[in-house]
Amino acid sequence: MAMLVLRMVLLAAAIALIGAPADARDDGRYANSPLKGWFESLHSRGGGPCCADADGTALDDVDWDTSNGHYRVRIQGEWIQVPDDTVITEPNRIGRTIVRPYYVNGRALIRCFMPGSMT
């Protein structure tokens, strides 16, 4: 599990450094992860599949919070309200906050969001 957390942190750092939208795909690096099946089983209330190991972006605690009873995330310096039907409500096995953004006309939208423990 420590290796998975490290990989997620490195992925988030790489995305932050390049500053460009990234739509990661599992290229086989996570094939032996003990959490692979769990990640792939995640679905938002909207019904769509959310994440594989490489699809999400780990967020630091300063990049997500709640406002008026709803989650919001900071992606590329902009605060975005998380639609309620994209929130994963089952227990977070990784502990870190994970968001799965996608982009339409350069605007970040949220496919899935899994709140972490805010340590």
CATH number for the domain that contains residue 15: 2.40.50.180
Number of domains observed in the structure of the chain:
1
Residue 59 lies in a domain: yes
pLDDT single digits (tens) 72-90? 999 989 999 999 999 988 8
Continuous H helices in the chain = 2-18, 36-41
Q: How confident is the model at residue 42 (pLDDT cuts 50, 70, 90)?
A: confident
Mean pLDDT of the chain: 73
Which structural domain, as residue segments, surrounds residue 81?
2-114
**Does residue 67 form part of some domain?**
yes
Q: Given this model, what pLDDT does residue 15 score? A: 43
